[in-house]
Chain A
């Protein structure tokens, strides 16, 4: 009998240590203060600790950009996670969301003005949500990837990525320009 309780105790203790090691430490409005610094970064104060510069990494950048954000210090060590950035309030939310949009830079192509093919590269002129953008894409299927039926990622020769949210929304003229890639 005593032996059994002992084993139970050990198991419980182990569970606790595992929880301590691998459990998720959620950062909330109650236990964390995010602030934008003058230098253009974000600082964090949580549970008595202060971090001058933190980074926000999305666990699911393409499918759930504001959920489950891993907050890391400048050495890349995780401090904690944010369940949903939208649910933070005030400055916390602004700071975190800004940090996220800063980390993930993938302009969304709104309009394709021209695609010119030359010597194995195609030169795109587009209007994106971040402004006018010209870039160069290597010919060949691997530069344009299709996610699902209608969503498209385009990578240019430097490794920049662009997104076309829904090719059905492109004009026939634009579709024709990128037809070879599809």
Chain B
């Protein structure tokens, strides 16, 4: 990420009074002025001695760094400010939109180093969001789509490569069908002109033409069937291919991608977008070719027969096309509105049913059902209105279609009377005219469909092309680890401008049990997320057995970690399947042993289905504590070297917790364990306890050491004691 922007000449000149151009270390643009308006061409420049603000053509502020005690950013909603503290008073230097937040966070960090007397210059490895060359947004791939070349066409080419044969076949079939369609009309003409009117061949002629026409017809129908069969196969194959690719990719993407989206949204994305691609290939693509070919053939044929009629046909076409197109657009808009409302009704219904417990316990059944009735009433009214409109105007479209034909009939009819063309020819031209005019309304929708396809493709490729943020997922060493873990000046934040952990230094010996405490939201779960390498740290490193955690093969590493997360997640499936999730090869005996340690065996046996009991989605048919115990069993089944317990026993009564503790105490021996708990008694067995506060490790030591220190931990313990005393 660029932290030193090129200053325009004017700005550089004005700033040079305070900071010489060669002394500028950081230079960033900002985009909101003092009165809150969006502006251009404003800059903050910082050297080692001064920081200057260039706004509206003037240097408006300049601060001597040796007089400042602090430089900091204030995050607001939708914007942020850079400010300095001089002699206890805070002064705003500049205000900027979210576009520059990360950059200014780095700048503040960098300038603070100067204030503190350091000389280091911070750099950011974060990727630019906008292509420095052409200004286009850079997608998750990290490459500018324009400047790096690979556009949409190349993607589509790449995507369809395996299906070239299939596509060629479809095109061939379509060509044949269109041709047969056109040819059939020639046969008809000959039939009328040569057999019916002049009666040249008698009965034999009728039979001959009848057979020919049947042949054409059969050919068309068979071709049509073959076409739709082929394109359905193609569509399903392509969309399945995409779906698989996306599924695999999503599993490989780090949590920061998946976590920033709701799971449902991601699922929708996969289903909805691949569905769009499928329906495009099945419905639009092949039909497009067909329609297009037929139209071209028909145009040529009409021209060849009679150019005057052809001109009439072409004159009528745009008018008819336009009218039908507008009508259809109107229909679509109406139905979209209806669709949105029915969506609302559905989701409301789902919400209420899912939350039926809450609705009932607050006695809101009546008002909820009233609200729901109102919604369905609205929907019903809208539906009937739309249907009325549809049934009035839809026949009109049919009428417009035939207008062109009527015109042709009239003009052509006159020509027939004067003998300029034959009856057969007139019939033929009329047929072609409707072939040209009918698909027009549909063709005009084509750009819209292509646009939709493009959006879906873009979204799909946004995922597929995304670089996996975690490096070394498949490569990396596989090795049985000892369980030594070391944090070295680790910095991490879910958003780079807001560190959650800032400079963690800590070493854990193999087999040690570490308790982590701290206020809610202080970063305990974040710390274990880093140990599990669900995220990579922004700065510093984490070492496992003396090697960087990034050197390990991720899957192999995960195999050796057992986790019970704060939010226990169980899959739909049996209890047995859930417990052996991390080790599919586990035998029944192993599973039972693990369940026993987790104190889950008893309650599982008591259930009518035993270990075969089906769990509802996320184990909703178990109690909170039961779910946690299943999760504990799952974590220990693997015999992991590193065990992570994030509030693993928070929903248990103290008695059960005690029993699990006892069991775990035996199990934990020789394993590196991280246990997070708010109930401090849970951590009594811990070898060491660390307290996280203010983004750092505030205290670390054994239980008694920390008590003697009378710091944060002491405060927490006494507070809990007080509380339990009061409760008694």
Contacts and interface: CB of A to CB of B under 8 A. Distances in A.
Partners in one complex: yes
Interface of A: 37-41, 52-53, 55, 61, 74, 101-107, 117-121, 128, 130-133, 136, 138-140, 142, 156-161, 180
Nearest to B150: A119
Contacts of B78: 104-106, 160-161
B14 interface: no
Contact of A107 (B34, B38, B92, B458): B38
Nearest to B458: A120
B451 interface: yes
B136 A104 contact: no
A130 B38 CA distance: 6
Given A120-B462, A139-B455, A101 B36 contact: yes
B455 A140 contact: yes
User: Interface size for chain B: under 10, 10 to 19, 20 to 34, or 35 or more residues?
Assistant: 35 or more
Contacts of A132: 38
A104 B269 CA distance: 31
A158 B97 contact: yes
A160 B31 CA distance: 12
A37 B92 CA distance: 10
A160 B38 contact: no
B265 interface: yes
B32 interface: yes
A106 B32 CA distance: 12
Interface stretch (B41-49, B82-90, B289-297, B438-446): B82-90
A61 B78 CA distance: 12
Nearest to B80: A105
A40 B38 contact: no
A105 B129 contact: no
Most chain A CB inside 10 Å of its own CB: which residue of B78, B83, B137 = B137
B38 A38 contact: no
A29 to B, nearest CB: 25
Contacts, number: 104
Given A39-B91, A131-B39, A61 B129 contact: no
B38 A133 contact: yes
B77 A103 contact: yes
B217 interface: no
A127 to B, nearest CB: 10
Interface in B245-294: 261, 265, 269
Query: Can you list the 6 inter-chain pairs with the closest CB atoms, starting with the nearest?
Result: A120-B458, A39-B91, A40-B92, A105-B78, A105-B79, A119-B145
Contacts of B95: 102
A64 B67 CA distance: 41
A166 to B, nearest CB: 17
Nearest to B96: A105
B76 A102 contact: yes
A61 B451 contact: no
Given A104-B78, A140-B459, A159 B91 contact: no
B418 interface: no
Contacts of A142: 261, 265
Contact of A105 (B97, B136, B152, B455): B97
B97 A118 contact: no
A157 B455 CA distance: 16
Contacts of B99: 158, 160
Contacts of B261: 142
B129 A119 contact: no
B631 to A, nearest CB: 31
20 contacts: A37-B89, A40-B91, A41-B90, A103-B77, A104-B77, A104-B78, A106-B77, A107-B38, A117-B451, A119-B152, A120-B459, A121-B136, A128-B38, A130-B36, A139-B459, A140-B455, A142-B261, A158-B98, A158-B129, A160-B98
B308 interface: no
Nearest to B92: A40
A180 B461 CA distance: 19
Interface in B428-459: 451-452, 454-455, 458-459
Contact of A119 (B39, B76, B139): B139
Contacts of B459: 120, 139-140
Contacts of B139: 119-121
A104 B265 CA distance: 28
A39 B89 contact: yes
Nearest to B457: A120
B242 to A, nearest CB: 15
A61 B98 CA distance: 18
Task: Identify the interface centre among A53, A102, A120: most chain B CB within 10 Å of its CB.
Answer: A120
A37 B88 CA distance: 12
A131 B39 CA distance: 8
A160 B97 contact: yes
Given A61-B77, A120-B462, A131 B89 contact: no
Contacts of A131: 37-39
A176 to B, nearest CB: 11
A157 B129 contact: yes
A136 B89 contact: no
B572 interface: no
A130 B78 CA distance: 13
Interface string B130-158: 10000011010000011000011000000
